[in-house]
Amino acid sequence: MAPKTTSDDDTPALDTEQAILQLAREEPELGQAAVAERLRRSGMRISASGVRYLWQKHGLETAAKRLQALVRDSDGGLAVLSDSQRRLLERATLSAQASRGRAGEEAGPDDERLDRRRVILNAAAELFSEQGYDRASIRDIANKAGLLAGSVYHHFASKDELYLAVHREGFHDVMEAVQREVDSASDPWERLTRACEVHVHLIVGGSPVHRVTGHSLALIGHDTLLAKIRPVRDDYEDLYRGLIDALPVAPGTDRSLLRLMLLGAMNWVYLWYREGRLSPQEIAATMVDMLRWGTSPR
Decide: residue 23, CB within 10 A, 0-12 exposed, 13-18 middle, 19+ buried: middle
Q: Return all residues near 220 (Cβ < 8 A) that are at least 6 apart.
A: 132, 133, 134, 163, 226
The predicted structure's pLDDT at residue 93: 63
Weakest-pLDDT range from 19-33, 81-95, 97-111, 153-167: 97-111
| pTM for the model | 0.60
Q: By three-state DSSP, how is residue 278 classified?
A: coil
Q: What are the tens digits of pLDDT across the range 258-296? A: 999 999 899 888 888 887 788 888 999 999 999 988 777
Whole-number Å distance between alpha carbons of 295 and 298 = 9
Cβ atoms of 89 and 28 within 8 Å: the answer is no
Q: What are the tens digits of pLDDT across the range 54-98? A: 888 888 888 888 888 888 887 766 777 776 677 667 666 655 554
